[in-house]
Structure formats: structure tokens, C-alpha cells
Amino acid sequence: MAKTQSESFSSIASFIWSVADTLRGDFRQSEYGRIILPMTVLRRLECVLEATREDVIIEMKKHKGSKVPLQPFLEKASGFTFYNTSNITLERLGTNDTKSNLETYVESFSENVSDIFQNFNFQDIIDRLHKANLLFHVCGQFASVDLHPKVVDNHQMGLIFEELIRKFAESSNETAGDHFTPRDIVRLITSLLFCNDSDALTKPGIIRSVYDPTAGTGGLLSSSSEYIFELNPKARIINFGQELNAESYAICKADMLIKGQDVKNIKLGNTLSDDQHAGAYFDYSLSNPPFGVDWKKVEKQIYDEHKKKGYSGRFGAGLPRVSDGSLLFLMHLISKMTEPSKGGSRIGIILNGSPLFTGGAGSGESEIRRYVLENDLVEAIVALPTDMFYNTGIATYIWILSNHKDKVRLGKVQLINANSEEFCDKMRKSLGSKRKYMTEKHIEEIVKIYGSMKVSKVSKIFKNTDFGYRRITVERPLKLSFLPKDEIKLSFLKEDSTFGKLDKKEQKLILDGLSTLNERYDDRELFLKDLKAKIKLTPAIEKLIVKTFGEQDETAKDCKNAKGEIEADSDLRDSENVPLGENIETYFKREVLPHVPNAWIDTTKRDEKDNQVGIVGYEIPFNRHFYEYKPPRELKEIDADLDKVTKEILDLLQEVHS
């Protein structure tokens, strides 16, 4: 029986990883991947170039001594944008000069490939394998792996790389999910991103740019190209990306090389602090940024851009808390959108739950949500099943954004709840934290729900303003009663450091003055008037006495300031979130005054952007919109279960005693 594609790539990956048995003892387990990954890349490049190897060497000899740049001739002979001018292969290294031959072989690659091996720190790998007398043996093992494109296509090769990285991550306790996204999720997000553009993508001679600021090993970029080529084999796709991890970058670059992409578009570095595609705009953007990773290391650069550039930079809308940079990547992608007048852009980004609701009105997170919703950029948010990723089982969401929405979507957001068994199957064997996967049928169903934009049990449509509110500050009057002769309060006064700094005479005058007052006062103004008639009070001592002897009392008179205005009690201060579009006075009379008749709205608390009373906030309480009430079970049913469990416990105890 023929192997399935999944079984084929898995068996090849397992065979390659078995090289670890050779490395055991001479290398730590955490180092296996640093050897296996670049050797796999080398073998793949070798297999890709095998058919035209002799042509390149002939072309090289033909132009020997010529001052004409050789690169165009050698690339033409190779059939790719890279080549190797050596007749050495992994199989022909020899036992005597293995190290020098391998070094010569790697150095004979074109410059764009040399950069890949530099980022793998390949020279160090060669030196260590040679020192351990393992170089010839390991190279021989890889020479036996058939990675020719006719045997292993680009899609399968991507799966093999991902499987090797996952094994590497497991062996070194690293996070596999930082480097690549599961292929079923990749397929879903690309399908959602491109499904509304099918007509445009099938036009002859179409050229589209796709960007991933957290490229990893290039899975999202590869999948997007595959999707578009399925619709239009003659389309021209130009991929752009940036990746922080050097090894992932090297694999991504190798993958792009083999697929004929211009690898100058793939950059190495921190996207947030060092945008190497500054000023560039793209037709489509995809990203699976790390969940909940802090941006403390690049805080200064990001804060400076926010303050100095504002909306002309990437982070004008606001900054999230330093502990989670997910929304920074969202803002970064939005800054890369082509203007609608020039065709517009679409974005697909995978985020965890916190960007939906973290941060109250006025916070950086809320202001970012406000920006994307008030600018009508969000098309849909899809809740995925849990346990879909290699490194986490938490709830995750796909956001689809566009600055050229279809008319039916203008001013609206679609929420799709695909977090159920209806949209996934359980894996026979878990891969890290990934215990579930989506079949093509599941993906088609979700895309169909998104495309139809119909309201159902799992799909709901909202206006952008449905997620907004105004946070009004509700004040209540300060009401204090005073017990100037209370022994406990007097002891607190005597122990206070401010009171202790007074000389004995001043202390005695204050205590004597308090002793001559009434037993109780329900009016702060009268209390201070009687006390000041006895002694002279400094502002500091007056404040201390009020703080020490005053206590909240609803039956007392309202406290007023020097202007005769009622003072607010900070301890009773509260806030209310009034839905956008609803009059705050109407809301206040309906929801607040029936419970606290003496409350009022602090009209000095105004939104910075529209100067209206109340701070505007936005949140997307996804789960609340899909909550289904389930009544508790009947008491008889619960009692029956308890009786059953009790009987089982008693039976077990009986067995122990017998």
C-alpha cells in the first residue's frame, strides 16, 4: 500500500532525526538540531541543483578568466537564483580530506546561500564534527536521504523542516511554536484571507505581494503562494518577510530560494525595533506572532517611535502593556497596508485572547482596538479550537482585517465561534501541545460561514460601535461624623508621626481642645469651627485630625469645600460603562440613581479625542456573545450521583479493612 503524504514526510523526518543516534555522547541533546537542520538544508539544496550541476561547472569553465560578471550566466545554467560551482557532493567528500572538501563545497555556493550557512554557524558545526571524528559518517548519512524535488515536493519539504524543528525544540526545551505554525492553521488563515479576492487573483498576469513580519521558517508565505497558484498558476507572487531567530531565518531563506523567490526580501532582525521593510506596503500580510511575549528589551525604541512619530509611525494609536506585544504586531501590519485608492490590503493575524479585552478605557490596548474599529478595519474574528498549536493549548483567534471591505461588511464585524468539536478532530498522537487538527472539510466549512456572512449559532454580526462604551466616573458625597473623645482615635492621634513632631505644649493644647468638644458631630464644618474656637490649627494638623477622627456616615451632612461645592468621597468613587450611542444621562437615571440617589457624574473626566464626558473604551467580549445558559441538573439526579460515589467509596474502604 502506498504511503500517504503525511506518512511519507513523517518517515523521512524520523529517518533524518535518527542521525541523533550518531551524535549521542559527543554532543548534548539540546545541540542535535543545530547540526541536523543545516545538514538537511545542505542536502536539499544539493538535490535541487543535481540536475544542472554539470551545466554550471561547464559554464564556469567557459567564462574562466573573463572579467564579465558570472552570476547571470551561472544562474541561467542552474535554472535557479542560486548555484554551486564545485563538483563535490556529500557523497564525494572522501575519508581523508573530508573537512577541507566540505568547506570548499559550502564556499562554492552563491553568495545568497553562503548567508544561510553563516546564520546556521555552519563552520563551527564542521569543526566540532571533525574533532569528534563524526564528520564523514554524518555526511554519509545525509547523502543517503533522497530529498530530490521529484520525490519530496516543496510542500512536503516544508513539513519535514517543521517536524525537525519540533523535535529540536522538544529536545532542547525550546518553544516550537515560536518558529512555525501548524499547517492546518496556515491553510485556514490563508483561505480566509484570499477567499474574497478569488476574482481578482484569477486575472491574467496578476502580481501580488505577501508579507510576514514573523516569518519563522516561511510556512505562511509558502502556503499563501500555494493557495494563489491553485487559483492562478500564472500569477506572480512576491514574498517579503522578517525573522528574529537566525536558524528559522536560514531555513525560510533556503525555502524561498528553492521556490524562486528573491531572498533579498527576507530579512533578519527584530521587526518591532528594527523594521527592515520600512516604507514598504503590501497587498496581503500574514502573521502568527508569539503569544504573550514582553517587549521590554525594545521598549525604548518603540516608545520613542510612538512619541516622536505618532500616527506617521507604526504605533500612533497607543502602546499595550510591556508584558504582551501582540497588538504591536497588529499595528505594525496595519502600517503596511496599501491605500484603498491603490487597491487596498488584507491582513490575517493569529492572536490569543488578551488583545480582545485586556485594558480598560483609555489604556493602550483599548485605544488600539478603538483605532482598528473606528477606522472600520476588522472584517472578522474566528475563535479556534483549543489545543491547536504545538506550544500552547490556550484559546486563539484569527483576525481578518481589510481597508477595502465589501459593501455588505462596511461598519460591521463578524464573530465566528469555531471553538468546538464540530470544527476539528482529535489527533491519534499528540505533537507537543497540539492534540487537535482541522481537516480540509473543517476549513471549507469555516470559510463558507465567513463568506456567507449569515447569522447563525456560530456566526454573529455586530456594528463596530457595539464594542464601544464610555466609562463615566460616578461620585458620591463625602459624609463624615466625628467622635473627638473616642479613646481609640485619641490613641491613633498620639501615635502619629506628624503629631509626634509637635512640642509637648502644642500637643497638650490640641488634646485639651478636643476634650472640651461635644461627644459627636455629624457636620465637619461645625466640628472644625468649634475646634478652631479653642485652638489654632495649621493645615497639616487640621488634615490629620479630620483623617483620624472622621469616619464615613451616611446620616451625616455633606462635606463642602471652600467654594461651597459638595466634596466627593474617593472611597465611594465608582465607574459605569455606558454603551456608545446611548445618552449617558438617560443611562445614569435608569441604572444608577435608583440605587444611589445622591450620586452624580464627574463631568471633568472627558475623552481626549472627542472631549465628550466619559472616556471611550473598546473591548470585544467574544465568549459573552456566544454564551449559552445551561440549567443546573435536577437535585434528584445530583443526589443519585452522590449516593453512587458514596457507595463506591464505602465498598473500597470495606476491601481495605477485610
In a domain, 650, yes or no: no
The domain boundary, picked from 525, 552, 579, lies at 552
Same-domain status, 412 and 536: no
How many domains in the chain?
3
Q: Using N-to-C axis directions, what is the helix angle for 246-258 and 219-231, rounded to 10°?
A: 20
Shared-domain flag, residues 489 and 363: no
Would you tell me how many other CB atoms lie within 10 Å of the CB of residue 497? 7
Contact 472, 604 (CB under 8 A): no
In a domain, residue 571? The reply is no
| Cβ pair 333, 399 in contact under 8 A | no
Residue 146: band (very low, low, confident or very high) from pLDDT cuts 50, 70, 90: very high
State residue 100 phi and psi, 5-degree precision.
Answer: -65, -35
Is the domain of 107 the same as that of 54? Answer: yes
Helices 135-143 and 98-107: crossing angle in degrees, nearest 10, is 50
Lowest mean per-residue pLDDT among 91-95, 523-527, 536-540: 91-95
504 is in which domain, residue-wise?
A: 480-552
Residue that is last in its domain, among 417, 438, 470: 470
Kindly state whether residues 258 and 400 are assigned to the same domain.
yes
pLDDT of 175 strictly over 80: no
pTM equals: 0.84
Same-domain pairing of 135 and 189: no
Q: Is 196 domain-assigned?
A: yes
What CATH number should be reported for the domain holding residue 377? 3.40.50.150
Band the pLDDT of 180: cuts 50, 70, 90: low
Maximum distance among all Cα pairs of the chain, rounded to whole angstroms: 115
Candidates 280, 311, 362; CA nearest to 606 is 362
Q: What mean pLDDT, rounded, does the chain reach?
A: 90
- Residue 310 and residue 430 in one domain: yes
| Whether residue 163 sits in one domain with residue 180 | no
Mean pLDDT of 620-639: 85
Q: Are residues 78 and 183 in the same domain?
A: no
pLDDT at 177: 44
621 in a structural domain: no
Residue 179 has pLDDT above 70, yes or no: no
Are the beta carbons of 475 and 600 closer than 8 angstroms?
Answer: yes
* Secondary structure (3-state) at 11: helix
SS3 401: strand
Cα 60 from Cα 80, distance rounded (Å): 15
The separation between CA 395 and the C-alpha centre of its own chain, rounded to angstroms, equals 12
Question: Helices H, strands E: what count in the chain?
Answer: 27, 17
Boundary (domain end) residue, out of 552, 575, 601: 552
In the predicted model, what is the mean pLDDT of residues 366-379?
A: 97
431 and 397 inside one domain? yes
More confident residue, 432 or 583: 583
Query: Of 393, 395, 361, nearest to 381 (Cα)?
Result: 395
* Residue 465 burial (10 A CB sphere; 0-12, 13-18, 19+): middle
Q: Are residues 166 and 186 in the same domain?
A: no
Looking at the structure, tell me whether residues 444 and 302 fall in a common domain.
yes
Would 562 be classed as within a structural domain?
Answer: no
3-state secondary structure 307-351: HHHHHHCCCCCCCCCCCCCHHHHHHHHHCCECCHHHCCCEEEEEE
- The answer to whether residue 88 sits within a structural domain is yes
**Domain annotation covers residue 598:** no
Whether the pLDDT of residue 173 is over 80: the answer is no
Tell me if 336 is assigned to some domain.
yes
Residues 181 and 163 in one domain: no
